[in-house]
């Protein structure tokens, strides 16, 4: 397993605009690293099962929502389930997605907005699992003098332009009857936006854990005026695989899904050890990771089935997926709204639920 330095896991949501044709001359202010590291683990269980395992590669950028994946890798759960998984860690999701589009990866772990952009580029893939949902992990900080979201009009807002935080802000503005034309965007990476707010240099900033909570605690003149607990389908992490891989190696995909749920079950039953495993991988402390995990929900098999199959559910993925695609189209981030229903494949989470 590769050992990663501290503060690597915020790059997950940065530089989404790198995937679009609308980057123009935007400057990247994020602390990203375009290199990748490959991580596999050898355990006695893995060695015993190696002759029967299928191989797969998946690209991610370090993020707290991958905690079950890190646990499953460390404990050898993927090998137990029948897959030799090569986890390639990239400096940002944009870098991982570029590798996926180039055919160098079997799967990736994008957020929904990235998945829409990938679909709009003609890539045939399948969503096989919902990894996590932001329910407070992302938010907007504002001074006490800013009464509400409507008061953002005419204000300067520090946000990572073109990244998921930017699209989250645009959705919040739209909900309040505003648009990007009503505010001034100051491009700043999530950590820089939070630091500017904390230092009194930014009146409004959009960021996420751990910067969101730290800046809010440090800056007494202000509060978290809005977070994803009020818009729980705005930012959802997915696991997707190339459809050709899904069709030719369904047993490998099933083993991956089963391994993730095995990692989640381990976290539920052995929280201290599970947090220690993931915290080491993320370059943070178990205590900090535990606090940050409160801002996301990691759905189990039953909830995954509901999200991928039940149109009556408030968390039905296709509803928010289509809404986001329409939004990105209106923002001219995609030229055409793709038929997103074809990209959802629930059979693997259904099988995992039955097995459980």
Q: Strand, helix or coil at 351?
A: helix
Find, among 207, 69, 215, 217, the residue nearest to 134 by Cα. 207
Sorted by where each begins, the domain ranges of the chain are 9-133+235-355, 138-230
**Entry pTM:** 0.82
Domain 9-133+235-355: assigned CATH number: 3.40.190.10
Asked if 26 and 187 touch (Cβ cutoff 8 Å), the reply is: yes
Please give the CATH number for the structural domain made up of 138-230. 3.40.190.10
Buried b (16+ CB within 10 A) or exposed e, 279-294: bbbbebebebbeebbe
Residues 296 and 134: beta-carbon distance below 8 Å: yes
**Beta sheet of 107-108, edge-to-edge order:** 36-39, 83-90, 54-61, 107-108, 236-242, 125-134, 296-297
- Give me the tens of pLDDT residue by residue for the chain, a chain 356 residues long: 333 334 444 455 554 444 444 333 222 233 334 456 666 544 444 444 444 689 999 999 888 999 999 999 999 999 999 999 999 999 878 889 999 999 999 999 999 999 999 999 999 999 999 999 999 999 999 999 999 999 999 999 999 887 789 989 999 999 999 999 999 999 998 899 999 999 999 999 999 888 898 999 999 999 999 999 999 888 999 999 999 999 999 999 999 999 999 999 999 999 999 999 999 999 889 999 999 999 999 999 999 999 999 999 989 999 999 989 998 898 888 999 999 999 999 999 999 999 87
The domains spanning 9-133+235-355 and 138-230 adopt the same CATH topology: yes
CA distance 344 to 326: 17
């Amino acid at each position: 397993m590769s050992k990663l330095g501290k503060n690597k896991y915020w790059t997950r949501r940065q530089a989404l605009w790198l995937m679009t044709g609308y980057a123009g001359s935007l400057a990247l202010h994020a602390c990203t690293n375009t290199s990748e590291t490959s991580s596999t683990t050898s355990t006695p269980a893995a060695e015993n099962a190696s002759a029967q395992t299928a191989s797969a590669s998946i690209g991610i950028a370090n993020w707290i929502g991958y905690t079950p994946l890190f646990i499953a890798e460390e404990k050898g759960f993927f090998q137990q389930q029948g897959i030799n998984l090569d986890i390639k860690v990239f400096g940002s999701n944009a870098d991982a997605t570029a590798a996926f589009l180039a055919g160098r990866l079997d799967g990736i772990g994008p957020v929904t907005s990235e998945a829409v952009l990938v679909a709009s580029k003609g890539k045939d893939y399948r969503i096989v699992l919902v990894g996590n949902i932001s329910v407070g992990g992302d938010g907007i900080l504002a001074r006490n003098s800013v009464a509400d979201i409507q008061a953002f009009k005419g204000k300067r807002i520090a946000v990572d332009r073109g990244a998921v935080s930017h699209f989250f802000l645009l959705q919040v503005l739209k909900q309040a009857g505003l648009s990007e034309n009503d505010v001034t965007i100051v491009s700043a990476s999530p950590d820089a936006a939070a630091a500017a707010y904390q230092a009194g240099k930014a009146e409004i900033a959009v960021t996420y854990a751990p910067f969101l909570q730290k800046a809010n605690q440090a800056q007494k003149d202000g509060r978290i005026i809005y977070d994803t607990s009020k818009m729980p389908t705005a930012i959802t992490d997915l696991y997707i695989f190339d459809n050709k891989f899904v069709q030719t190696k369904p047993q490998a995909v099933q083993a991956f899904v089963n391994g993730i749920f095995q990692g989640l079950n381990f976290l539920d039953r052995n929280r201290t050890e599970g947090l220690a495993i993931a915290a080491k991988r993320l370059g943070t402390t178990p205590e900090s990771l535990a606090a940050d995990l409160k801002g996301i929900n990691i759905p189990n098999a039953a909830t995954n089935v509901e999200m991928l199959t039940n149109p009556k559910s408030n968390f039905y993925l296709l509803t928010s997926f289509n809404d986001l695609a329409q939004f990105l189209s209106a923002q001219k981030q995609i030229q055409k709204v793709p038929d997103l229903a074809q990209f959802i494949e629930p059979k693997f989470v259904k099988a995992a639920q039955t097995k459980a």
